[in-house]
Amino acid sequence: MQLSSEVERKPIQAVRWHNRVMILTGMILFLVSLSGCVHQKFVNEPYPRWGKEVRIDPSDDDDGLMILRTLSPSDSVKTSACVLLVHGMNEHIGRYGEVARYFAQQFMVSGFDHYAHGLSNPVLRQADFASASGAGRQEISDAYLAQATLKDLQPLRRNLDRALRETITQCDKESNPGRPLFIVAHSLGALVTASYLIQLQDEVDLVRRVGGVIFLAPGFAVSEPPGWRGWVANPLIKLSFHAETHFLHPQDEPLPLLIFNQALALVTVPILDSLFEILSWPGLRSLVTPIAPDWVQDYLTDSEEEKARLRDDGWVVRRSLLRFVKGIEAEIVHFRRQMTQFTTPYYLVYSEHDPITPAWGSKDFAHATIQHHPDNEILTFPNSHYHQHLFLKEPARTELLRNIVQWMEHRLDASE
């Protein structure tokens, strides 16, 4: 009887949690609306290009025109491998020109813009065309609306697939066919890459061409905003993530806890999914879509020069549609359920105190996969909270690039 009464109390507790969800949601929406009321954004110059442009025309199942950028060593015969750069959320591959030139000293390098990012974004592509034609300043305030169809990361995975296959084609044209390809993936790009490679397991020949993946601050965990924003947002973020994790997916808990978690998830997940969906509709989204707060920039890099570049970079999308944000959370949950299936060799880099992609996501991934290959390696920045490792100030930046190249060379030696 005591167990029965305890079980009966669990739905009541779930209702109480539901009330707390609504209160916290109201607070979040109030803060979001304050940041979303006024947002005008412009670009004054053409998109920052690097390398040679290879146009990948759309097919019936694709998501529009895509441009692959390629850069090769002066003596391509000596190129031992190829590298595909995969950028993070709301940025663009044009930022990676210096990184591409570093790798291109000995590898063929390619990069592309994710779906709804950079020149894969129709608003930004039109602004680039107008700027290149001498039209002057272009307003791009609505560029974030290209995220409107993104309920998950499948369009980004499709673009990654197109870029990977075209990179292999270009790689084989350079010199001897069959050279390994390495993927260098940052943040959201790492989540896209890891989930894509798990989906790709049936295509054995394509998987074998990937000699390894370099994960930089991978998006294997939900963000934890610092400071006063964290006091407001983190309870809702953690509750949403907990509910999404348990939603119709038991975790081998004791029966009372199982009932409580499922009741909580069955109440919370539909409410938040519906709320975020409604707030992504035309009319409402212009008021409540959050603008990237100033604290994000402070946690990206310790380089004041790079921070200045970011402030002036009009090609970075500053807003994230709530539907897209909720979809990323669901993708993280789904990936964590299947991450033990990831078998591609990797070099994992993360900062211990990164609030954008917290370290616990990388640690959980490493714990689940480190034993899958003897070349799997981890590099931790124990006292750092910076997120964009390829844009740190010197000498840390070049030292990291050298470490990545050394790991790739080790993989090449092992494959001979």
**Beta carbons within 8 Å of 220's beta carbon, 6+ residues apart:** 190, 191, 194, 332, 335, 336, 339, 357, 361, 362, 364, 365
Question: Which tens digits make up the pLDDT trace of 199-219?
Answer: 998 898 999 999 999 999 999
- The answer, yes or no, to whether residue 140 has pLDDT greater than 70, is yes
The pLDDT value recorded for residue 135 is 86
Q: How much is the mean pLDDT over the chain?
A: 89
For residue range 158-171, list pLDDT tens digits in order.
999 999 999 999 99
Task: Tell me how far apart the alpha carbons of residues 401 and 410 are, in angstroms, rounded to a whole number.
Answer: 14
Q: What is the pLDDT of residues 221-263, one digit of tens each?
A: 999 999 888 898 899 999 999 999 999 999 889 999 999 999 9
- The predicted pLDDT at position 4 comes to 45
Domains and CATH numbers, the chain: 2-38+226-288 (no CATH), 42-224+293-415 (3.40.50.1820)
Residue 251 vs residue 404, higher pLDDT: 404
Quick one: pLDDT band at residue 6, thresholds 50, 70, 90? very low
pLDDT of 2 reads 43
Q: Check whether 32 has a pLDDT greater than 50.
A: no
Q: Which helix (H) or strand (E) holds 186?
A: strand 181-186
Instruction: Report pTM.
Output: 0.90
